[in-house]
């Protein structure tokens, strides 16, 4: 984009702010005070800290650790060079701005932020309906953007009720809600996202560092994200001991009440049904053909030949968000990077920016 939208500058400033906020939080944790920081900066930092706590109280899955991780990822992505590189392949915003309705999920912190900034960067207006599980963090970041760039005032609106007067829709939900979305929004240009899962392929030759990265891919956000690895494909006769050793860094997950409740419930169900499983005290490993394992459980399947497995994964591509594995596996991303998507790693493989730039002007729905 030769002439970026004003939101570009605001997003760069937001990235600077988030990195400074997290560095300040780290200094406070270490007992190192920065007495030179301006009072206004301290106020903004305190407000974000309070917002994080409000989000945790509303949604217990949004622990400080998980929200901090999400903010770290966005602080790293919202750099001028990264934003410019992302947008370089697209035309600059032109024409009258359109209103794009965003119906957001709430499974992980700020899961809809990418859609939100995509709408702004393409010169459009965002009409946002947040999930009741995540309606605190995004509005706060949006208010920060307006503080950095006052011209963004009026470029977005958050709604709780029925959405009206929009030109296009981006809706994220489950396979069940997708039918509802298709019924109500099918007459408008739309992106409707459904359930997707992420899997990992092991060969048995992984290093401890790679297995540690895989453990992060599994446990981050308590496994609630579509990029959270929910299933392993392992070779026949695979030794799970090194894998369980790598998972040990996440044993504190069992101290989270909701995670522990899910782990205990699933364990009881498997025991009563006589299902075979492996158990390390905080993660259940169960052989199962399914892709989407429940919280506290990881499914696995064995394979004999990598070529056959590649064919299987190709056939499942419509149900997969990402595949983690060795670089010899076509389309695989490295261990430990499932929860670190780049700006152009679009959900479901649908280019959001291209979609937003191709929306035909129309009379918005009343």
Q: Is the pLDDT of residue 362 over 90?
A: no
pLDDT digits (tens, 9 = 90+) for 191-202: 999 899 999 999
pLDDT digits (tens, 9 = 90+) for 323-340: 999 999 989 999 999 999
Separation of alpha carbons 165 and 87, rounded Å:
28
- Say what the pLDDT of residue 9 is: 97
pLDDT digits (tens, 9 = 90+) for 110-136: 999 999 999 999 999 999 999 999 999
- Say what the pLDDT of residue 39 is: 44
- Residue in 117, 83, 102, 107 with CA at minimum distance from that of residue 1: 83
- Residue in 87, 146, 158, 95 with CA at minimum distance from that of residue 118: 87
DSSP letter assigned to residue 237 = T
Taking a C-beta distance cutoff of 8 angstroms, is the pair 92, 3 a contact? yes
Q: Is the pLDDT of residue 67 over 70?
A: yes
pLDDT digits (tens, 9 = 90+) for 37-62: 444 468 999 999 999 999 999 999 99
* Sheet of 125-129, strand order: 156-158, 125-129, 99-103, 168-172, 190-193
% the chain with pLDDT above 70: 93
Residue range 197-324, CATH number = 3.40.309.10
pTM of the model: 0.92
Which residues, at least 6 apart from 251, have a Cβ–Cβ distance to it below 8 Å? 281, 282
- Say what the pLDDT of residue 35 is: 42
CATH of the structural domain 7-195+345-357, one choice from 3.90.10.10, 3.40.605.10, 3.40.50.300, 3.90.1150.10: 3.40.605.10
Taking a C-beta distance cutoff of 8 angstroms, is the pair 221, 67 a contact? no
Q: Which residues of 239-267 are buried (b: 16+ CB within 10 A; e: fewer)?
A: eeeebbebbeebeebbebeebeebbeebb
Q: 172 exposed, middle or buried (CB, 10 Å; 0-12, 13-18, 19+)?
A: buried
CB-facing half-sphere around the CA of 90: CA atoms within 13 A: 24
- Say what the pLDDT of residue 360 is: 76
3-state secondary structure of 201: strand
- Say what the pLDDT of residue 228 is: 98
DSSP letter assigned to residue 37 = S
Q: Taking the domains of the chain in order of start, what are their residue ranges? A: 7-195+345-357, 197-324
Q: Which of the four pLDDT bands, split at 50, 70 and 90, describes residue 363?
A: very low
């Amino acid at each position: 984009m030769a002439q970026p939208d004003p939101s570009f500058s605001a997003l760069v400033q937001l990235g600077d702010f988030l990195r400074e906020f997290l560095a300040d939080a780290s200094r406070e944790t270490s007992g190192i005070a920065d007495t030179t920081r301006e009072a206004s900066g301290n106020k903004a930092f305190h407000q974000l800290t309070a917002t994080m706590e409000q989000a945790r109280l509303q949604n217990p899955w949004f622990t400080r650790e998980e929200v901090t991780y999400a903010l770290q990822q966005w602080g790293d992505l919202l750099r001028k060079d990264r934003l410019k590189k992302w947008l370089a392949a697209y035309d600059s915003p032109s024409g009258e701005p359109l209103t794009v309705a965003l119906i957001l999920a709430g499974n992980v912190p700020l899961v809809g932020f990418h859609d939100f900034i995509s709408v702004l960067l393409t010169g459009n207006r965002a009409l946002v309906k947040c999930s009741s599980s995540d309606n605190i963090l995004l509005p706060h970041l949006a208010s920060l953007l307006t503080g950095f760039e006052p011209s963004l005032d009026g470029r977005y609106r958050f709604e709780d009720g029925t959405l009206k007067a929009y030109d296009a829709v981006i809706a994220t939900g489950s396979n069940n809600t997708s039918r509802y979305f298709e019924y109500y929004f099918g007459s408008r240009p739309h992106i409707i996202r459904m359930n997707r899962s992420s899997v990992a392929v092991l060969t048995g030759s992984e290093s401890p560092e790679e297995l540690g990265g895989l453990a992060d891919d599994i446990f981050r956000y308590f496994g609630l994200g579509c990029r959270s690895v929910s299933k392993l494909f392992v070779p026949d006769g695979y030794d799970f001991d090194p894998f369980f050793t790598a998972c040990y860094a996440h044993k504190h997950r069992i101290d989270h009440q909701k995670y522990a409740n899910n782990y205990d419930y699933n364990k009881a169900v498997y025991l009563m049904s006589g299902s075979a499983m492996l158990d390390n005290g905080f993660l259940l490993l169960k052989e199962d053909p399914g892709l989407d394992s429940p919280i506290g459980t990881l499914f696995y399947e064995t394979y004999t030949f990598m070529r056959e497995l590649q064919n299987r994964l190709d056939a499942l591509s419509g149900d997969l968000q990402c595949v983690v594995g060795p670089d010899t596996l076509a389309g695989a991303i490295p261990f430990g990077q499932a929860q670190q998507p780049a700006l152009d790693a679009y959900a479901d493989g649908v280019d959001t920016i291209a979609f937003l730039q191709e929306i035909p002007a129309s009379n918005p729905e009343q």
